[in-house]
């Protein structure tokens, strides 16, 4: 009388499903991760430039801000957003450097991931109004 032993570990189909799921998640992280790393660099550059420009009593020179951003992005090799996409926005809370852009990356086949990034960063020392 051979009694069937209890299965130990995972079976073939369970293993294929498990490794397929892990592979899909890894593919998504590998493809989409650089978009977010790029956004962190864009945000860091805009914050640094905003803290350097716009002291009280100075006029805001948009061309100088964009030039400084272009130099910084040339060094960091950022291509998802251009300095012309950075706007100086006046609100009741003061002056802000604002950007809103979409970045896309093909995942596989005809499936594309589109990520929208938006931020408003206050200029240093600019009085409101």
Domain count for the chain, please give it: 1
Sign, CA torsion 48/50/56/62: positive
pLDDT of residue 116: 94
Q: What is the pTM of this model?
A: 0.75
Give the single-character DSSP code of 103: E
Asked if residue 75 belongs to a domain, the reply is yes
Asked if residue 7 belongs to a domain, the reply is no
Asked if residue 80 belongs to a domain, the reply is yes
pLDDT of residue 3: 54
Give me the tens of pLDDT residue by residue for the chain, a chain 129 residues long: 555 666 677 888 889 999 999 999 999 999 999 999 999 999 999 998 888 876 544 567 778 888 888 898 888 888 788 888 888 888 777 788 899 999 999 998 899 999 999 999 888 765 544
Give, in order, the Cα–Cα distances in Å from 121 to each of 50, 104, 109. Answer: 7, 23, 37
* Domain residue limits at 34: 12-122
Asked if residue 18 belongs to a domain, the reply is yes
Asked if residue 128 belongs to a domain, the reply is no
Give the whole-angstrom CA distance, residue 49 versus residue 26. Answer: 35
Asked if residue 94 belongs to a domain, the reply is yes
């Amino acid at each position: 009388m051979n009694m069937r032993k209890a299965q130990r570990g995972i079976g073939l189909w369970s293993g294929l499903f498990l490794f397929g799921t892990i592979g899909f998640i890894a593919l998504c992280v590998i493809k989409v991760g650089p978009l977010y790393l790029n956004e962190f660099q864009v945000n860091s550059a805009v914050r640094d430039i905003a803290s350097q420009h716009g002291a009280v009593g100075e006029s805001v020179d948009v061309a100088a801000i964009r030039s400084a951003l272009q130099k910084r992005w040339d060094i960091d090799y950022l291509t998802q957003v251009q300095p012309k996409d950075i706007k100086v926005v006046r609100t009741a809370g003061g002056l802000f450097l604002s950007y809103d852009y979409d970045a896309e990356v093909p995942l596989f086949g005809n499936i594309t991931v589109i990520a929208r990034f938006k931020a408003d960063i206050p200029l240093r020392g600019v009085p409101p109004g």
